[in-house]
Structure 1
Amino acid sequence: MKKIILGELFSGPGGLAIGAEMANEAIADISDSRFVHGWAVDYHDETVETYRRNVEGATEKTAIVSDVRKITAKDLAKISKTIDGFAYGFPCNDFSLVGEHKGIDGEFGPLYSYGVPILNEFNPKFFIAENVGGIRSANEGKTLLKILDDLSKAGKYGYVITPHLYKFEEYGIPQARHRVIMVGIRKNLKLTFKPPAPTHLKKFKTCQEAIEKPPIKPDAKNNELTKQHPRVVARLRHIKPGENAWTAKLPAHLKLNVTGAQISQIYKRLDPKKPAYTITGSGGGGTHVYHWSEDRALTNRERARLQTFPDSFVFEGNKEAIRRQIGMAVPPEGAKVLFTAIIKTLEGIDYPFVESNIDSLL
């Protein structure tokens, strides 16, 4: 077996790592390469506890709770002298379409730069950087160009980067989740990554299929129901599948008294015939994702199904901490698609691909 050691910053609960494990099974018949855990860093205790519990090979020494601004590449090299791949989904708050759009000047904008010292220290064969679709328009597109430029020049050899807007529902993920993912391949390898071609353009996987097939077992972990306020239940009874608090015909006493932006996900029921809308990790009343027929919010296990975490994956922490972990994660089945394409690129194995849908000056 040829090990491909992975390092992760902003690792979350392990969506990318579990996706890499899934890719190992997908490539078993064509390659003797296998992705293995090297080290992972995240800021939240419960998130790292989840990672350690579920990711093969992760321990207290290799999965670390730390602010990325306080841990160095030299520190991580003490855990594993080498890594072959580096993955990070740097926080997206300042690039999201919901928020103040501070972009690279915001508190979270510069966090992408903490990947550069990792590339400089380890010179991995490839990297994956993930962020929200809104990063394309931040600062009129200059933010993305700056990030691509900095990452392409990193390391001893530099990287050939392929940015692409992935619509995960086109790859069998039961959720409309759109993310910009940059895959970089070390220049001296003289290889270029191509985005894998969508597999589910003709038939999306619906949220109902994901949640009900197979049924969630009664003793499943992280499946506790939310206690719904009677007013919320009354409001949901007037909201049809696919509708939200603004598009539904609500009685006057159940309408929301909100001025300003009307976020479309507020008390929005799922449409059972379509993929779910984007699962988020935070938000106040009305943002918890609502069942298409039952007058309630989804359980965390149901949200995890929509994010393609297997039921055997157990989240640590309280209900809100788990909600955050699920919403911030990369869907494992989506990560599997990426890692499978990366190994095929590195080993010269052909696969169906599409051209990048993001124009780059690099």
Structure 2
Amino acid sequence: MTMQMEDSRATHPQDASVKTFRMGELFSGPGGLGVGAHLASNEHGKIVHQWATDYDEDTCRTYAWNIVGDEESRSVVHADIRKLDYEELAKLGDIDGLSFGFPCNDFSVVGERKGFEGEFGPLYTYGVQALKRFQPEWFLAENVGGIRADGGATLRKIFGDMIDAGYRIYPHYYKFEEYGVPQARHRMIVVGIRKDIDVEYKVPSPEVFADSDVSASTALAGIPEWAANQEPTRQSERVIERLNHIPAGGNAWVANMPEHLRINTRTKLSSIYRRLSSDKPAYTVTGSGGGGTHIYHWSEPRALTNRERARLQTFPDSFVFKGNKESVRKQIGMAVPPKGAKVIFEAILNSFAGIEYPYVEPSLMKYIPN
């Protein structure tokens, strides 16, 4: 069974009091934002799929199957954004909202931080171009927190371009574990409202989720046998032996590691063979990396399965990832947690419906150019 986000072109009775926003997505990923938008839809408003595009074929298949219900849906366009004619998207229908989680590699703290000079740095401009072309009522843009690493020059450039496209913006650094996600995943998210629309977005307060159980043990409990993507990771006896010397929450650099199991590298990344703590949120789920980066169980000497990683990302068990094991790992790691996305989309819907909710001030307003 798949979770299908309602397609705006399907025929169904409409409640005139419920506003429907048709959403387009650039850099859609496997559907984290799509699922979040579906879950956020309520009696005050709904967000429906109009079109989406991503450069990775498996990712598009995953999105199409789970969000649209048709793996070959033409509304999910497999294309390199740098070569895509937006008129092809326009043929698929107008949009009221736009989401784009533009690739973060060149802005990442872990990456080389090439910024605008890198292959991925300029990709946010395609989101800005889409804002100018489609003029949606609102947008949601997502990227890593490391984008602030140059003193804010990058953010001021990006924010300035979004404002010049015709939007008031509300940029905030979200810590998703504070919003009910069982993972320390920190992301910059910008919500924009078109300047001619009298709607004020407010960042939802994490206090609402203060009592949420975000422990890894709860997140990974009770995974049904029927859920897809549960293939185990093959591990050598040496790796198993190494893991048996690492306590919950520890990593490969523990002091009592036997000499023959030690890893001799100049840098000691904390994520190498790092085991989860059962009573705390997981550390950040990533989409790539070699040996020792797969996230490891707190008591069993093994890496997590992709389904367990998807649980930490809050994907429903019915969500099926397409592609081979490494492709699925990448898709999961690059996605926005649906539960975190749901909180933000709910706030957008409530803002347009004029419904008040607890909020905090946006944390990145200081980077908006004067």
- TM-score, length-scaled by structure 1: 0.94
**Shift of residue 200, structure 1, vs aligned partner:** 2.9
Matched, 1:207 2:219: no
Which residue in 2 is equivalent to 1:96? 108
Which residue in 2 is equivalent to 1:145? 156
RMSD of aligned Cα (Å): 1.3
**Shift of residue 170, structure 1, vs aligned partner:** 0.2
Which residue in 1 is equivalent to 2:120? 108
Amino acid paired to 2:281: P
- Give the one of 267, 271, 289 matched to 2:295: 289
**Shift of residue 247, structure 1, vs aligned partner:** 3.3
Which residue in 2 is equivalent to 1:84? 96
Matched, 1:74 2:87: yes
Matched, 1:236 2:243: yes
Which residue in 2 is equivalent to 1:63? 76
**Shift of residue 345, structure 1, vs aligned partner:** 0.9
Tell me if the contact between 2:159 and 2:368 (Cα under 8 Å) persists in the aligned partners. Answer: no
Amino acid paired to 2:113: H
Which residue in 1 is equivalent to 2:185? 177
- Give the one of 195, 200, 205 matched to 2:203: 195
Q: Could you tell me the percent identity over the aligned residues? A: 56
Which residue in 2 is equivalent to 1:302? 308
Which residue in 2 is equivalent to 1:270? 276
**Shift of residue 108, structure 1, vs aligned partner:** 0.6
CA distance in 2, matches of 1:34, 1:283: 37
Map Cα deviations across residues 152-179 of structure 1 (whole Å, 9 max, x no partner): 111xxx1000100000000000000000
CA distance in 1, matches of 2:277, 2:256: 17
**Shift of residue 112, structure 1, vs aligned partner:** 0.2
CA distance in 2, matches of 1:64, 1:253: 50
CA distance in 1, matches of 2:161, 2:213: 36
CA distance in 1, matches of 2:352, 2:227: 39
3-state secondary structure, aligned to 2:234? coil
CA distance in 1, matches of 2:66, 2:88: 24
CA distance in 2, matches of 1:62, 1:54: 13
Map Cα deviations across residues 56-111 of structure 1 (whole Å, 9 max, x no partner): 3665210011000011222210111x100000100000111112111122111000
3-state secondary structure, aligned to 1:176? coil
3-state secondary structure, aligned to 1:272? coil
CA distance in 2, matches of 1:217, 1:248: 38
Map Cα deviations across residues 231-271 of structure 1 (whole Å, 9 max, x no partner): 10000000000001113521011000212x22111000000
Matched, 1:315 2:324: no
Tell me if the contact between 1:73 and 1:117 (Cα under 8 Å) persists in the aligned partners. Answer: no
3-state secondary structure, aligned to 1:189? coil
Which residue in 2 is equivalent to 1:350? 356
CA distance in 1, matches of 2:98, 2:368: 23
Tell me if the contact between 1:39 and 1:76 (Cα under 8 Å) persists in the aligned partners. Answer: yes
Tell me if the contact between 1:37 and 1:57 (Cα under 8 Å) persists in the aligned partners. Answer: no
**Shift of residue 204, structure 1, vs aligned partner:** 4.7
Which residue in 1 is equivalent to 2:3? none
1:318-329 equivalent positions in 2, closer than 5 A: 318-329=324-335
Amino acid paired to 1:270: L
Which residue in 1 is equivalent to 2:38? 21
**Shift of residue 320, structure 1, vs aligned partner:** 0.3
Amino acid paired to 2:344: L
Which residue in 1 is equivalent to 2:6? none
Tell me if the contact between 1:5 and 1:85 (Cα under 8 Å) persists in the aligned partners. Answer: yes
- Give the one of 280, 285, 309 matched to 1:279: 285
Amino acid paired to 1:361: I
Map Cα deviations across residues 147-206 of structure 1 (whole Å, 9 max, x no partner): 00001111xxx1000100000000000000000000000011132211100033355510
Q: Which runs of 5+ in 2 are unaligned?
A: 1-13
Map Cα deviations across residues 264-303 of structure 1 (whole Å, 9 max, x no partner): 1100000001000000000000000000000000000000
Deviates more, 1:128-137 or 1:194-203: 194-203
Which residue in 1 is equivalent to 2:11? none
CA distance in 2, matches of 1:150, 1:312: 39
Matched, 1:10 2:27: yes
CA distance in 1, matches of 2:154, 2:338: 27
